[in-house]
Structure 1
């Protein structure tokens, strides 16, 4: 039995559900809601190998040690005992060993960075393996927790699958490098803006794009970049706050989530106040990019889902509330970042694990990276952002990653005192203080 909120089934029940999902992927009725999995199971030459990998992928849980490493040896012994040929045995063993790599890459790496996709493609090695791995990954996620599979995770895996397949079919040259991709996107977007919005000066455009960072151009098409730029700069007074709500249609990903773009003067507490307002609307933040330039301009992107794991509908009044509330809050001279108190479910309190916070030196002497592993709960991100704000830290960027009941978030923060050597004792003290603060909010001592 797995005593947590992430795995809601016993290992044997979970395994049977994985096999059920694999079988259902072959039905025509699954083509609409699981198109990639449907494609994959109809492309693999031997479905029985997928089923064997599904039976053994979690078989070693509870023994101690790495269950993927232990499980692959059980899978190998089974294949040898049943005289399965060496190539097929190697495939099953590889699937059991690597069954977590696709979901981990999609959720923990920057899959819009071409190099990360190339690294993943190098591990996979062939399109056939990719088809097997994707089918196993989706079947595994859907059999772990009913709430774990949502439109956002589906869009991440879809993007990773399509870009990896492109490399495996046509070689690494089929995906340009990071700098080439960014520059090409900027060039095409600039041409589009010049043709439809000549009132936007090159100087203002440069300021906004500098604040946006390279990630902005890796995640969006040139048309999307031009549309967002125009909407952000239609109001030419850069001292005022502008908020836009759009579908998160990144590149080939369709309908995965809802993006909130915020242009506002840079000052402490912007992210904390943003998370507080979104929490009041019961929205879940699944990704965030917090950026600013030397001129004191922010262009932040916050990606959210509704409580049901779906994007905010275009017709929903929530979209107008997001714009109105954020614009009002961030237009104040003094930003208030008060976390919104929401009731924590009893199951979360009883099954929560202690928070773990590590800190390391950042890219400059006045910056640090905080890595936070904590039990997810309503308003968690707002608590973290408000704590940083109260302690005098300025959040520069954030990587938000929620895995069922657990979150693995990374915050790059600026602090008043430059670090002379590595991480100071005071920062380690702040890490322990943050652990105690988050645990105390749900009764962990």
Structure 2
């Protein structure tokens, strides 16, 4: 149990005083059923008062998790002792109990460790000398019913000493529970007998098997939780780097060395005082966070979700500082602690391997090692190891050389050597200006055989942050939003791994264009360095692209890049968000969009570099961010820009291009009567012919033909494109103000997301609108029943059969409530320079059902015509871009009108979360 001293224990619970009260009650109440009825309110009040005092100390006095855990355990100990005495003395009294009727109550699990958070379960072991007797059953049943009536969640087992031993030998979980069993009350001899037999019959000779079992259990848990300690909503108990990892170390230490606390391993020569101190600090930090989490949510919550992070940060004293939000400072501290847990695991496992496992003989691995170029290192049990404890002290460059050799030879690094590196980290500073060290690092970064593995090892060991101080600033840095899944350093290392996989063709199906173009790139070193540095300036309180470009100019020469390579890296970092912004937010059919983009690119080499960098950057954000629709948008922008740069883009006269498109459609409609075909061609304005390709022109014509033949008032056709993960929705109906807004609302009701829209008005007053949509999971609408529902909903809204306002108000929120804690600053940007023919309006706000409907409704009210729209969501943020004109079909230039548009849109996108009540607890 935790050795934390309990302050003023009687302020938590006074067992002696309660005992007197219970004895007086027993004397005046002879019936056991009445006694139980009187017992419950007494214990319930004692428990509630004690818990309130623990909470008061923790919250009001800025207490620690260690103190709260110890106090909660102490409180529960006294409740159970009171209950046990009451049952055995007053309810089922026996003057002289036989040996077989003796019993002990032991705490196991977290309660056994004295690690009892505010909403922890209570795990009890009722320990018997032999098999269970009727008296045992009566006592256990009475106690359990009272504990359940107190609202406690109780895990329990009733076993004899021999049963415990037998099951511990067969089940590692039971073995672990007994390992941390703590005597609470009852017979004192039984726990001693259990401990002796456990040591002799379970522990003796089973150390290696127990270690293997617990580490395998840990690895399986990590895989189940995502195998990263850098997810932005971590599980503080079961996640990688969480409390369960510390428990695993403690279990192994208890089993192997017989200690009750990791600090005792210092005297055993197993851990250094510094390592033991780090264990204690990490555990105390996680304990405190867990207490805050339980008190705040009022339940046994283990995930640090976005909605609780700001409040816990505030309660723990993390204030905003130097442009960094308090919640981001708190989460960075959390991730650094999680990394520390990984360091401790590595150090401890190295010691265990040396002390517990047999050294292999002359294996095939060691024979092969003789033929390898190991640069002075050796192979130990199949892993690369330093030849001597003072290797790095004598030759700091060997630290960098170790990772290079491990990568070249495809070897893991021995945990004992990683421990030596951790202890030698101050030496890494001397390597920063060493040309040889920088050359080795650049070789690792650009290696053909998976640099991600080496960089991750360097990061885990702390070398990467020491070698690149700029990288240290983004290590464990989180971004407080739902779009970015990983911390900045984890995102960067994943991006480098994805670049390697793109080169090898392993992920060519995700982005075929980038997979093809990456092999044409001449500045490969610059590409890899730009991926490493693209987010290097995040968290510095400015535009990280601009600040990062300046950092690249300084780091490039140090890493050994030529002036040309350095300038290329700086340019890429400066513009690493440009291609995605243009592809996802702008109309690439607008020639000015392409011309402006190409003016920045200037060369095909830079265009290729930016395409590849953009691809791996987006892929590394998170598993659900990339899809074929985004791939197609980037590909379209790339191809158009490449055509323009290389001269393949023929800027034909507008009239000739329109005439060519009309002629192609006329040839495709030879089955129509000539007069009907001619009349149809005249019903489209010139802009229509340049907005869509010839295949789409044909599709539109067939939809309109069917609608006219059947007399359909609202024609809706859905064409799935599963390859691009989108569906095209063609809507043909009579045009009227607010049509786009109604369609947007209908899409929201049908549970689909609009990602692109092309609005066409025909000369006869009919509207031909084409929407590109996705399901909420980012896939195409392809199933017949979903297509039917979408079609039915759109028709119902446009014909008035569905009351749109009422239906939207009844719709449940799309994003979980916990995301309301994430800040989304609503803003409206109006750009009259991005297009020669349209005013471009960009709207940013918190995503919610009907967001696009509200925005387009506001535009309708102020008399703005929407020609096209591109809609994106980034986690909790909606970013919608519209190409608009005024009622005369011109760009909106009048200041008063622009102000009116801005005011209407700002009102429409006002964040409803701003008025929501904060989470309290």
TM over 0.5: yes
Query: Match for residue 376 of structure 1?
Result: 847
1:19 to 469, 480, 496: 496
Q: 1:222 to 1:375 in 2, by over 3 A?
A: same
Distance (whole Å) between structure 2 residues aligned to residue 114 and residue 388 of structure 1: 25
Distance (whole Å) between structure 2 residues aligned to residue 167 and residue 394 of structure 1: 32
Query: Match for residue 316 of structure 1?
Result: 784
Distance (whole Å) between structure 1 residues aligned to residue 588 and residue 598 of structure 2: 11
Distance (whole Å) between structure 2 residues aligned to residue 421 and residue 377 of structure 1: 31
Distance (whole Å) between structure 1 residues aligned to residue 506 and residue 721 of structure 2: 26
Distance (whole Å) between structure 1 residues aligned to residue 750 and residue 873 of structure 2: 22
What is the SS of the residue equivalent to 2:633?
A: helix
Query: Match for residue 342 of structure 1?
Result: 812
1:110 to 543, 567, 587: 587
Listed as ranges, the gaps of 5+ residues in structure 2 are 1-477, 833-837
2:874 to 404, 421, 424: 404
Q: 1:234 aligned to 2:234?
A: no
Q: 1:421 to 1:278 in 2, by over 3 A?
A: closer
Q: 1:439 to 1:182 in 2, by over 3 A?
A: farther
Listed as ranges, the gaps of 5+ residues in structure 1 are 362-366
Contact persistence 2:643–2:649 (CA under 8 A):
no
Q: 1:16 to 1:178 in 2, by over 3 A?
A: farther
More helix by share: 2
Contact persistence 2:746–2:793 (CA under 8 A):
yes
Q: Deviations over 1:150-171 (max 9, x none)?
A: 22111100111222223333x1
Query: Match for residue 243 of structure 1?
Result: 716
What is the SS of the residue equivalent to 2:707?
A: coil
Distance (whole Å) between structure 1 residues aligned to residue 839 and residue 649 of structure 2: 35
Distance (whole Å) between structure 2 residues aligned to residue 305 and residue 86 of structure 1: 45
Q: 1:228 to 1:335 in 2, by over 3 A?
A: farther
Distance (whole Å) between structure 2 residues aligned to residue 125 and residue 368 of structure 1: 26
Distance (whole Å) between structure 2 residues aligned to residue 218 and residue 379 of structure 1: 31
Query: 1:121 deviation in Å?
Result: 2.6
Q: 1:422 aligned to 2:898?
A: no
Q: 1:163 to 1:25 in 2, by over 3 A?
A: same
Contact persistence 1:151–1:310 (CA under 8 A):
no
**TM-score, normalized by length of structure 1?**
0.83
Distance (whole Å) between structure 2 residues aligned to residue 433 and residue 392 of structure 1: 12
Superposed, which structure 2 residues align to 1:142-153 within 5 Å? 142-153=619-630
Count of residue pairs brought into register by the alignment: 426
Larger Rg: 2
Query: Match for residue 221 of structure 1?
Result: 693
Superposed, which structure 2 residues align to 1:166-181 within 5 Å? 166-169=643-646, 171=647, 173-174=649-650, 176=652, 180-181=656-657
Query: Match for residue 192 of structure 1?
Result: 668
Distance (whole Å) between structure 2 residues aligned to residue 440 and residue 60 of structure 1: 30
2:616 to 115, 139, 156: 139
Distance (whole Å) between structure 1 residues aligned to residue 511 and residue 619 of structure 2: 11
Query: 1:130 deviation in Å?
Result: 1.9
Q: 1:24 to 1:241 in 2, by over 3 A?
A: same
Q: 1:338 to 1:100 in 2, by over 3 A?
A: same
Q: 1:165 aligned to 2:642?
A: yes
Task: Please identify, of 230-239 and 344-353, the stretch whose mean Cα deviation from structure 2 is larger.
Answer: 230-239
Q: Deviations over 1:187-239 (max 9, x none)?
A: 2112222x1333734334422x23xx72x434533233123212223333788
Distance (whole Å) between structure 2 residues aligned to residue 420 and residue 407 of structure 1: 26
Q: Deviations over 1:314-363 (max 9, x none)?
A: x53222332333234323499855552222412331104132246799xx
More relative contact order, 1 or 2 (CA 8 Å, 6+ apart): 1
Q: 1:183 aligned to 2:655?
A: no
